[in-house]
Structure 1
Amino acid sequence: MIYKYYTYVALVGLLISVVSSVSGQQVDVPVFQQSIEKKDAQVFDVRTAGEFNTGHLHHALQADYTKKPEFLERVKYLDKQQTIYVYCLSGGRSAAAAKWMRENGFREVIELKGGINAWKQAGLPVEGAADQQQMSVDTFHNAIATGEVLVDVGAEWCPPCRKMEPVIQAYLKENRKVRLLKVDGGRDREVMQAINATSLPTFILYRDGREVWRKQGVYDKL
């Protein structure tokens, strides 16, 4: 009986330890807010692009967890050795995403308990609400009509797009006659459809309105 009792106590202790460890990966709004104020904090929004455009946390990257190809493509550009701060609308998708990341080599993943709903209920601000008018197709065609123009179809919240920023700047430095035109991958949907840009990032070089070359994805050099 004594052996069974101590075995039971040990099992209960182990269960409490496991539960504490798991719950310790979820933090309330004040702790999450303080943590993401650190320089270069990796903040990861796993909601849909539509939800993201209703408002998101400062400097957040985005990948829709419900779209597995998109999620798997974008998550690989996060630094596994640095802490990831993940959130969704209310906590369900972020919990699933965090579980996947922990199982796939990410050192530390911290979840926002209650998601962005809890953040808003705490009276904290969000940014990036889609109140800007999207670029018209006519405006786009006028912009590429003369000279050489590099069109960058991407977004600040897209991990591989952010990875490509130094590459773009290096290309423009080497090709000073080329102008840069950014097409917002979350807002300028009509332009994206017109030029058949279906993934982020996409790079297209135009010369006097005609497409010269096109590349999709991440490269060391354009």
Structure 2
Amino acid sequence: MLLKSLKTLLASAFLVGASLVAEAAQPFDTSAFQQAQAAGKSILVDVTAPWCPTCKQQRPIVQEIEKSTPNLVVYEVDFDNAKDVLKRLRVQNQSTLLVFKGANEVGRSTGDTNPASIRALVSKGL
């Protein structure tokens, strides 16, 4: 009985802890992106690569912005494997952040790791 209660308690703690972890941005999907644009949503596109040290510095900043801005849709583009998307978005470097308000691109930056300026960039689309 005690063992069963302990297992239940641990399982509950795990579920609560898992729900507190910030969800990663969703992988870029052209159809979903176009639907979000058509709906006039605020969108952040994060072009990243697993080997990029600047991208690693940007990640917690982007995650915090995503977590604190519920009306923001965040898409992650894999710099190494999404060349067609990069071409369409006219992106030449990893660690590029693009902000859209609906169909309009309202800002972009590359290599920025300053939390205040990244927040200011995202606010252009809110």
Q: Considering the TM-score relative to the shorter chain, is it more than 0.5?
A: yes
1:137 shift after superposition: 5.0
Alignment partner of 2:34 out of 141, 149, 170: 141
Q: Cα deviations across residues 113-166 of structure 1 (Å, max 9, x unaligned)?
A: xxxxxxxxxxxxxxxxxxxxxx67556434443311110011222221111111
Q: 1:196 to 1:171 in 2, by over 3 A?
A: same
Structure 2 residues without counterparts, runs of 5 or longer: 1-27, 119-126
SS of 1:198 mapped into structure 2: coil
Larger gyration radius, structure 1 or structure 2: 1
Identity of aligned residues (%): 26
Determine if the alignment matches structure 1 residue 151 to structure 2 residue 45: yes
Q: Which structure carries more strand by proportion?
A: 2
Q: 1:140 to 1:175 in 2, by over 3 A?
A: closer
**Counterpart in 1 of 2:124?**
none
Q: 1:157 to 1:142 in 2, by over 3 A?
A: farther
Q: How does 1:1-222 map to 2 (within 5 A)?
A: 137=30, 140-146=33-39, 147-221=41-115, 222=118
Instruction: Verify the 8 A CA contact 2:57 2:113 in the aligned structure 1.
Output: no
CA RMSD of aligned residues (A): 2.0
TM-score (norm 2): 0.60
Q: Which amino acid aligns with 1:216?
A: T
Q: 1:202 to 1:156 in 2, by over 3 A?
A: same
Name which structure has the greater RCO, CA cutoff 8 Å, separation 6+.
Answer: 2
**Counterpart in 2 of 1:127?**
none
SS of 1:200 mapped into structure 2: coil
C-alpha separation in 1, matches of 2:98 and 2:66: 13
SS of 1:153 mapped into structure 2: strand
Q: 1:136 to 1:175 in 2, by over 3 A?
A: closer
Q: Which amino acid aligns with 2:34?
A: H
Instruction: Verify the 8 A CA contact 2:48 2:55 in the aligned structure 1.
Output: yes
TM-score (norm 1): 0.36
Q: Which structure carries more helix by proportion?
A: 2
Q: 1:188 to 1:145 in 2, by over 3 A?
A: farther
1:178 shift after superposition: 0.5
